Amino acid sequence: MKTFEYVRPASVSDAVAAAAQPGAAYLAAGTNLLDLMKGGVSRPNRLVDVTHLPGLDRIERLADGSVRIGALVRNADLAHDAEFAKSYPAIAEALLSGASAQLRNAATVGGNLLQRTRCAYFYDTASRCNKRAPGSGCDARLGENRMHAVLGWSEACIATHPSDFCVPLAALDAVVEIEGRAGRREVALEEFHRLPGENPERDSTLEPGELIVAVRLPAAARDFAGHARYLKVRERTSYAFAVVSAAAALRIDAGKIADARLALGGVAAKPWRARAAEKLLAGHAPDATVFRRAAEAALADAKPSGDNAFKIELAQRVLVRALTLAAAGTPKRIPALPASPFSSAIGSVA
Amino acid sequence: MNHSISLTVNGVRRDIELDDPRVTLLDLLRERLQLTGTKKGCDRGQCGACTILIDGRRINSCLALAVSHDGADIQTIEGVARGDQLHPLQAAFIAHDGFQCGFCTPGQIMSAIGLMNEGQAGDDPERIREGMSGNLCRCGAYSGITDAVLEVQTGLVEAKQRRSA
């Protein structure tokens, strides 16, 4: 690991000032950053430790019915906050399906958004990677790429964003609160992460030196609490990234879908909101036919980036299954195996 | 530049001068405090051998910079037994053959204590297995590990039921 200067600011404004210089990086739990630094993939010359900043570790219910989650709230604390989990069950389930208990105890909300969009070639400093070394090429494009993107990818980069948490956040219209030298701004989570295009070295729309201070969910996100699920297909039952995942949230009124929210994980460089599919569902009774039509619409623009054509059909099936589970109703308690298609709490495998 | 931090490790306050900000809690425990019970497996947050408790919560000490944890209350495997009296989980791991080579065992036990502190798994074997998925065992002693944790958890659940009856 390259050495660095360690600074511990006392306030958000001090932190933003300390991170203004080129090569500076914010340190929260470090569960992704330290891993990347140990491998020589990330090489910051200054770490600005934000973990001691006051006031960023709270979950606040605001007067307008929205909820504001401080950037330093730990993933496990958010998932196990009983009121939060009841209001936003798909988010709690997604959080608990991610990483391991040890990592969830450390990893923060802001850090989860900023974990790198990555693949094995990004981690391997002997490989060419446009994200790690801009302009060097992409060894994933003709390499081992069955886990890679099928939506929104470019010739420069085909990596996927690994977050589970961000998938239901995108579906439920979360907003990211950002502090920078020019003051505070907000951006929809759906617009927060970038597609690679010609500049895959930039994962997000965050400008250098900007700090995430909170993630906010609008009041309307709670209207889906009765029919909200996250489903994640992975190559082992626990502690693995998604091959494909989906968040599905429905508002059902008099036997018909009044409103739907859908997003996919594991398919693109960002959590993939499926708005066309949402529109298609509205007004219909929840059944397999309309679910399949919605799933086909969600993947209409998908194309393989390598040996991953299977993901296009898989993503459609995961969407249908997530919609079926959501329509059946949110379980009283998060299943023993969160988001797993093998979970005993949701009956037999379809 | 040196950084002064103070930690409480197994109930004892330690004031430490760090001459390098790159030192992880894992390396600090093993190389500076000679507490080598906490193991370095992958050093990348994937195997769980380095699991310790900070303020009662289990974390991977390999992915925690010491300098960032000034003031932390740390418990390691060395702080688990009371003299010669084993922690119930230590005794249960022996009774159920919850190990073969033993390298992952300190991390498994610290993780299981963390799991109990979290209070989410109860006596459900499926929730225990899921909750322990951040600890790998290369010898494959998983069934013994689950049985050991389950036995201690079942005892706790029954004791709680007796108290509320």
Q: Give the mean pLDDT per block of 10 residues along chain A (350 residues).
A: 97 97 97 97 98 97 97 98 98 98 98 97 98 98 97 98 98 98 97 98 96 98 98 96 98 97 98 98 97 98 98 98 97 94 55
Domain(s) labelled CATH 1.10.150.120 in chain B stretch across: 88-164
Do the chains contact at B65 and A34, CB–CB below 8 Å? yes
DSSP secondary structure string for all residues of chain B: --EEEEEEETTEEEEEEES-TT-BHHHIIIIIS--TTS--SSSSSSS-TTEEEETTEEEEGGGSBGGGGTT-EEE-GGGTSBTTB--HHHHHHHHTT--SS-TTHHHHHHHHHHHHHHT--TT-HHHHHHHTTT---TT--HHHHHHHHHHHHHHHHHHHHHHH-
Mutate to test the interface with A, among B27, B110, B133 (most CBs of A within 10 A): B133
Domain boundaries, chain A: 5-52, 223-346
Give the residues of chain B that fall short of pLDDT 70: none
| pTM of the complete model | 0.97
- Of the candidates B20, B68, B127, the beta carbon closest to that of A3 is on B20
Measured between CA atoms, the residue of chain B closest to residue A50 is B68
CATH code for the domain defined by B88-164 = 1.10.150.120
For residue B156, the model assigns a pLDDT of 84
For residue A117, the model assigns a pLDDT of 95
Question: Which value does ipTM take for this structure?
Answer: 0.97
Q: Which residues in chain A are contacts of B135 at CB distance < 8 A?
A: 100
Q: What class is the A5-52 domain? A: alpha beta
Q: Which residues in chain A are contacts of B3 at CB distance < 8 A?
A: 6
Measured between CA atoms, the residue of chain B closest to residue A343 is B126
- Architecture, CATH, for domain A223-346: 2-Layer Sandwich (3.30)
For residue A149, the model assigns a pLDDT of 98
Do the chains contact at B111 and A102, CB–CB below 8 Å? yes
CB contacts < 8 A, A to B, total: 95
For residue A344, the model assigns a pLDDT of 56
Minimal CA separation from A46 to chain B, in Å: 10
Q: Which residues in chain A are contacts of B66 at CB distance < 8 A?
A: none
For residue A134, the model assigns a pLDDT of 98
- Architecture, CATH, for domain B3-79: Roll (3.10)
Do the chains contact at A101 and B133, CB–CB below 8 Å? yes
